[in-house]
Structure 1
Amino acid sequence: MTSFSFLGRPWVRRPLTITALAAMVLVSFLIAARPASAHGSAIDPPSRHYGCSNRWDTTWDNPVMAKLDPMCWQAWHANPAAMWTWNGLIQDNVRDDHRARVPDGSLCGGGDSTYAALDVPGYWRARDVNNTFTWTMHDQARHGAAYIHLYVTRQGFDPTKQKLTWNDLELVKDTGPFPDSGWPTRPGDPILNGVDYSFQISAPGRTGRHIVYAVWRAGHADQNYYMCSDVRFPGGNPDPPADPPPPPLPADSGCHATYQRVQQETGRFQGEITVTAGATAITGWTVTMQFPNGQVVDSAWDATVAAAGPNWAASNVGYNGTVAAGASRVFRFLGNWLITNDPPKLSCKAA
């Protein structure tokens, strides 16, 4: 393991990072060995694998992601190489018999065990659409299409509880063959640097969550790509909240705590808590931290910190529990954050 200075303190890189580097080497090998596989996928509404890669490519090992996007979290940790190769979910030489090559329950992963985590039911990030909407995919290799078959799940299918089968789908569009020419390009985008194919889809009678499923057979060979895009039509039941509101913290008892963010960089931050005794001396203290954005405490010094339900509890260590009346003690911690890093609410209880 590698030790380096982070935010003013020595820190040991977690083994997970070594795993990530190994996965990156694997991805490089896969792409080098099979360049034709780098074609593309649906980008709007995004396929599950493109959406996960696009949102979390550089932060996939940050534990805050488990709360912010739990379905992508499980997919990344099932196989990070699969998420990095979002443009390579392919089956060769299918001879148009997609049902035989891609069995029921494995449609989102294209019948490939590498991408099996995409088949797990749950609350994948869904795009709000109307019953007539535009579907767009990106073709990096510019091979056009022998066809794209576009399906929408039938009313009554629940993607949060059911794996997708062929009988759950209704074919709503067959594009037929077309070349890659005449479509919008993205020459300045380092990731999406090919052409976009867009089609209008109509899915009357649908409400709530559904899956748009696409089968794209490339125009130059019998290469077939499969993709699930999660959508939400008007009506239907709303998604449950990712986390119920936490209960209010108890009032301070015998001490008071204040918070200061000492330093911050992408995905990581250092916080400092000052514990001040009240009108009488105390012999121990516990500070409860309630973070509003799913932040995760990674390590601490001058305190013992552990998860406590939706909160984090920090208690004194042996040498700093005794605090004279009106005096203070300080402890610091390292944490993980994503998107937003608002300060925590605090509650202090003296022993």
Structure 2
Amino acid sequence: MRSTQPDQSGRQSRPAARQSRRALIVLLTMVAAMLPWTGAAQAHGTIINPSSRAYQCWKDWGHQHMNPAMQQQDPMCWQAFQANPDTMWNWMSSLRDGLGGNFQARTPDGQLCSNGLSRNNSLNQPGQWKQTNISRSFTVHLYDQASHGADYFRVYVSKNGFNPATQSLGWGNLDFITQTGRYAPSQNISFTVSTSGYTGHHVVFVIWQASHMDQAYMWCSDVNFV
């Protein structure tokens, strides 16, 4: 049997060196998995007000995502980080190409908050997501690092009687509020939405049809109408 001890010159034998390299690779992989991944995220955007679910989790917990206090203080972000931390690191990249405006036909009920992306399925889970207080007239703010511009935005609000804490969102749970016009490329796009008749916890569901190509983004933002 070959020795795995260093030879008399102080150098390791080849099997020992290979084992050391494998151990180093495993260690670096583990460390990399714990660090924020920003590669894909740098090219896109999200609704930062009212905060989309992934953005809220990243904003509140990104710098302390290993903190066990999250499990009690923000259980929905906790389950999301446990399911796939990349969902939060890549809060800008909830996109699909080539939908051709067929959002409802190609996005099943219960998958709206993840934009039909299995890697973001944690965002579909009902529960006590952190809420942004808004009035019946509120501002939607998109941050788009790559300045894609918009063909339009569509804004919906969950119907009265729908409970985001216990129900997954489907198309039949939404009231259509408005569709905007086009917006020129910009890192920051804001527009006002006017509603009436809503109180308490609702979901604001936004679709962004980007202008640079047929690329659609969908998000859920948990709000408290006051």
Q: Does 1:203 align with 2:205?
A: no
Match of 2:204 among 212, 218, 227: 212
Deviations 1:25-65 (A, max 9, x none): 8x36xx2xx57x73111101100001111111121111111
Q: Does 1:107 align with 2:99?
A: no
Distance in 2 (CA, whole Å) between partners of 1:22 and 1:137 is 28
Distance in 2 (CA, whole Å) between partners of 1:20 and 1:40 is 26
Match of 1:162 among 149, 158, 167: 167
Structure 1 counterpart SS, 2:64: coil
Larger Rg: 1
Structure 2 counterpart SS, 1:115: helix
1:173 corresponds to:
178
Distance in 2 (CA, whole Å) between partners of 1:176 and 1:57 is 34
Q: Any conservation in 2 of the 1:41–1:87 contact (CA below 8 Å)?
A: yes
Structure with more relative contact order (C-alpha pairs < 8 Å, separation 6 or more): 2
Q: CA deviation at 1:176?
A: 2.1
Deviations 1:74-110 (A, max 9, x none): 0011000111000000111101001122110010011
Distance in 1 (CA, whole Å) between partners of 2:194 and 2:163 is 19
Distance in 1 (CA, whole Å) between partners of 2:172 and 2:55 is 25
Q: Any conservation in 2 of the 1:20–1:80 contact (CA below 8 Å)?
A: no
Distance in 2 (CA, whole Å) between partners of 1:216 and 1:227 is 9
- How many aligned residue pairs are there? 200
Distance in 1 (CA, whole Å) between partners of 2:33 and 2:127 is 28
Q: Does 1:73 align with 2:84?
A: no
Structure 2 counterpart SS, 1:71: helix
Q: Does 1:221 align with 2:209?
A: no
Distance in 1 (CA, whole Å) between partners of 2:209 and 2:35 is 28
Letter in 1 for 2:33: A
Deviations 1:325-347 (A, max 9, x none): xxxxxxxxxxxxxxxxxxxxxxx
* 1:141 to 1:69, Cα distance in 2 relative to 1, 3 A: same
Distance in 1 (CA, whole Å) between partners of 2:211 and 2:34 is 31
Letter in 1 for 2:116: G
Higher helix share: 2
2:127 corresponds to:
122
Gap runs ≥5 in structure 2: 1-27
* 1:155 to 1:173, Cα distance in 2 relative to 1, 3 A: same
Structure 1 residues 202-351: aligned runs within 5 Å: 202-234=194-226
Structure 1 counterpart SS, 2:220: strand
Distance in 2 (CA, whole Å) between partners of 1:203 and 1:162 is 22
Q: CA deviation at 1:71?
A: 0.5
Letter in 1 for 2:56: G
TM-score by length of 1: 0.54
* 1:20 to 1:149, Cα distance in 2 relative to 1, 3 A: farther
Structure 1 counterpart SS, 2:146: coil
Q: Does 1:60 align with 2:68?
A: no
